[in-house]
Chains A and B, each alone.
Chain A
Amino acid sequence: SYVLTQAPSVSAAPGQTARISCGGNNIGTKNIHYYQQKPGQAPVLIVYDNSARPSGIPERFSGSNSGNTATLTISRVEAGDEADYYCQVWDSSSDHWVFGGGTKLTVL
C-alpha cells in the first residue's frame, strides 16, 4: 500500500519560513492535500490539489509537488500557525485515502 512519510517535527521562528515535507513514491504524479490541526480541534483543509487554497486560507500557505517529495511552505510564520500538519493523497490502486503521520510545527 502507498506510504506517505513526514518528519515528526519542524520548528521556525516568527517571521521565518517553515517547510513541511511529505515523501512518497512518485508523489508528484498525485494530487496532495494538507490539513492543519490545532490541539483539541478538528482538522482544517489549508491546501488542496498540490497548491490551491480554500477561501479564507492566507496566501502565506503554499504548496508544491514534484518527484518523490511534496512541500507545504508557510511564509512569515506566526505563533498561531503552531499545529500538527497532515498530508493526504488518494491511492487509486487501492481506492484508499492515505495520510502522512503528521508534522508538529513549533513556533520558537
Chain B
Amino acid sequence: QVQLVESGGGVVQPGRSLRLSCAASGFTFSRYGMQWVRQAPGKGLEGLTFISSDGRKTLYADSVKGRFTISRDNSKNTLYLQMNSLRVEDTAVYYCAKDINRGCSGDCPVDYWGQGSLVTVSS
C-alpha cells in the first residue's frame, strides 16, 4: 500500500534552515507529481509547493517563494523540502502528498498524505 513518511522536522531558530524528507513506497514514485502542504497549529491547510514527476516543473505559494525549494530523487523514492530563512510564522505540521493522477502539472488533488512532520520556529 502507499506509504509516505516524513522526517527532518524539529525546533529551529528564526533565520535558520531545515530540510524535510519524505520517503515514498507502494507506488511508482517517478510517475507522480508530489506536493507539500502545511497546517499551522489550530489553523487550516495551506498548499505550499508542487513538483512534477520528472522534477522539471515546480510551483510555490507566495508565502514561501524564494525561501523554500522542493526537489526529488526518483532513484531513492524520496521527496525533499529545503526551508531557508525560516520565520516564526512557518511553524506548522508539514505534510507530503501524492498527486491522484500521473502527469499532473500542479492542478491535481492529492490522494495520499504522510503523517506530517512538525516544524517549530522559535528563538
Contact = CB atoms under 8 A, between A and B. Distances in A.
Nearest to A1: B62
A45 B100 contact: yes
Nearest to A45: B111
B45 A86 contact: yes
Indicate the member of A33, A43, A88 with the most B CB atoms within 10 Å: A43
B110 A45 contact: yes
Contacts of B44: 86, 99-102
B116 A97 contact: no
A96 B45 contact: no
Q: Determine the interface band of chain A, counting residues with CB < 8 A from chain B.
A: 20 to 34
Interface string A10-53: 00000000000000000000000101010000111100110000
Contacts of B61: 96-97
B9 interface: no
B45 A35 contact: yes
A80 interface: no
Contact of A99 (B35, B47, B95, B113): B47
B113 A42 contact: yes
Interface of B: 35, 37, 44-47, 50, 59, 61-62, 95, 100, 106-107, 109-111, 113-116
Given A96-B61, A97-B50, 17 more contacts: A37-B45, A42-B95, A42-B114, A43-B45, A43-B113, A48-B100, A48-B111, A49-B109, A54-B111, A86-B44, A92-B107, A95-B59, A97-B37, A97-B106, A99-B46, A99-B47, A102-B45
